[in-house]
Chains A and B, each alone.
Chain A
Amino acid sequence: MRSTSKKIAFAFFLSFLLFSCQKEKHVVSKITAKTIAIDTSLTSVEAITKTIAPFKKEMIKEINTKISFTPKKIIRNDGDLESSLGNLIADLSYERANPTFNKETGNDIDFAMFNYGGIRAGIQAGNITNKHAFELMPFDNMFVVLELTGDKMEELISYLIKHKTAHPLSKHVQLTITKNEYNLFINNKKFDKKKNYFVLTTDYLQSGGDNMVFFKNPKNIYKQDYKMRDAIVDYFKSKDTIKPVLDNRFKRK
């Protein structure tokens, strides 16, 4: 009996608590909204600028650190269907990415291909710094290796012929286009439509960037855990001097 009355008392106490804690309900009656531009009309809070300052100093120091050297300028418009910069980017990407791919799959990458629009800036003669790598590749594109069938390879070739643009191709490609036909050698072997090819490119182009639709549905996609910008930095760091080349890997007759 006693315990029952205790229970009742406790229940009463609980409901009292609940009731007294129940807050006033509020209902939205009006909403207004605006998008505010952050621009020069707003002053800067000094404490924030001061907090950024030491980071900025270290970042600038880091970014201007010399990592290599080039005796000649390396640019993207010094050839017809190739460029010293495009050749460098494609070759260094191959050089940095192939060992891992080979270790993982037992195959070698056949060649590397990127897009002309993806190379953002040239390098002047002199020291090469981290800044150049960021300017060359401001995006965080990752390498992917795609296994392409002969049909997709033919689409890729048609694309190159149609656009006649110096899209970066690695030195493993020898492509000559004439008025009505083309000649393609990959690693000194004539292009074989019955064969599949391993092509190194980026996740951005794989997903259809720059209309490179032939990369969209490959037989296999091998994602590489390697950013293109990191490959550029790693390559520069591994060479004292960069020797840009133009070797007619892609030309018209």
Chain B
Amino acid sequence: MERRKFIQQTAAVASLTAIGGLTLPSFAKKKKHITILHTNDTHSHVEPFEASHYKYANKGGVARRATLVENVRKENPNTLLLDAGDIFQGTPYFNYFGGELEFKLMSMLKYDLATIGNHDFDNSIEGLYKQLPHANFNFVSANYDFKNTVLDTHVKPYQIFMKDGIKIGVFGLGIKLEGLVNPKMFKETKYYDPIDVSQDMSRILKEEKQCDLVICLSHLGYYSRRNPTEISDLNLAKATKNIDLIIGGHSHTFLPKPTIVKNIDNQNMLVNQVGCYGINVGRIDFYFDEEKNMTSKGKSIIV
């Protein structure tokens, strides 16, 4: 009781100080700031497109992406670099080296986490497993069950990061493989409903693990106009709660900016995807208030 009273009084002093225009050092604490960088569907595009390319001339390239990532990390060390799957397949680099180079380069860029796309099974689940030693980052998937496969225990449903006292939970979602990938490739990988799984995940991460930020790395695709009821990032966003950001892939959707979606609790959250082939990198910056210092309700989303 005493403690609560103290907090209330402190808050009152804080707001008074603000009105008075005085800044006391103890209240001028910098806001905590987390930066999320993300890619999706890079599809073995290790090098930039050639100058003669009809659509993406001189775009992309991992060596240039590395410069961007370095610059952002210098600006804010509290940065996470994430990938939403389909790292494999698309250039002869994959055909000849099976994904070794892709994983090595991503490790050099210090990727923090990735999820698994359907094309990551293109050399079968063993082909993916074989390349894991080249990846210094983890893979998450909450709706693929790898129990009866070589990937068992190598892929976790989620990972939690602590950055500057901010707890960030990231979970992964994969697309239904049946009908999309040859069963000989994904073997006994089981698929579970993304919405059910996400409801579980967001509860675990937000309520049990007390994460300040919950991110879903999804390879479900942004939205299907042809099959509007089919599971997609937009449909997932509307049907769930406590997810702050869905980073998508699969549909190669070039969003100029993240889409703001109202979740099932009528709260605003973001869905983003940055096309494909490493042509773009998405950047999302989250600024935090300590709950007790909250001056106003809600958040401002400037996209």
Contacts and interface: CB of A to CB of B under 8 A. Distances in A.
A29 B105 CA distance: 34
Interface in A1-35: 22-35
Contact of B67 (A27, A28, A43, A223): A43
Contacts of A35: 255-257, 274, 280-283
Interface in B271-296: 272, 274, 278-291, 294, 296
B210 interface: yes
Interface in B28-66: 31-32, 46-48, 58-66
Interface in A36-74: 36-40, 42-49, 51-52, 55-56, 58-59, 62-63
A225 interface: yes
A51 B104 contact: yes
Given A44-B61, A59-B93, A33 B67 contact: no
Given A28-B287, A134-B92, A39 B182 contact: no
B294 A29 contact: yes
B47 to A, nearest CB: 7
B193 interface: no
Contact of B288 (A22, A29, A58, A134): A29
Query: Which has the most chain A C-beta neighbours within 10 Å: B66, B244, B256, B279?
Result: B66
A97 B60 CA distance: 36
Interface residues of A, number: 41
Contacts of A48: 62-63, 66, 105, 108-109
A234 interface: no
Query: Which has the most chain B C-beta neighbours within 10 Å: A48, A56, A130?
Result: A48
A31 B302 contact: yes
Nearest to B288: A26
Contacts of B256: 35
B83 interface: no
Nearest to A139: B90
A52 B63 contact: yes
A37 B65 CA distance: 9
A132 to B, nearest CB: 12
Given A31-B270, A45-B63, A23 B210 contact: yes
Interface in A110-168: 130, 134, 140, 142
B303 A33 contact: yes
Given A26-B165, A26-B166, A26-B291, A36 B63 contact: no
Given A30-B287, A31-B300, A52-B47, A38 B210 contact: no
A23 B167 contact: yes
B281 A36 contact: yes
Contacts of B97: 55, 59
Nearest to A30: B287
A102 B119 CA distance: 29
A26 B281 contact: no
B179 to A, nearest CB: 10
Contacts of A55: 46, 93, 97, 100-101
B210 A25 contact: yes
A134 B90 CA distance: 10
Nearest to B122: A140
Contacts of A47: 66, 108
Interface string B119-159: 00010000000000000000000000000000000000000
Contact of A33 (B68, B270, B291): B270
Contacts of B59: 37-39
Interface string A230-248: 0000000000000000000
Contacts of B257: 33-35
A27 B58 contact: no
Interface in B80-106: 89, 92-93, 96-97, 100-101, 104-105
28 contacts: A25-B291, A26-B288, A27-B294, A27-B299, A28-B212, A29-B289, A30-B300, A32-B285, A33-B272, A34-B257, A35-B282, A36-B280, A36-B281, A39-B59, A42-B65, A42-B68, A44-B64, A45-B64, A47-B108, A48-B62, A48-B109, A51-B101, A55-B46, A55-B101, A59-B92, A63-B92, A63-B96, A225-B184
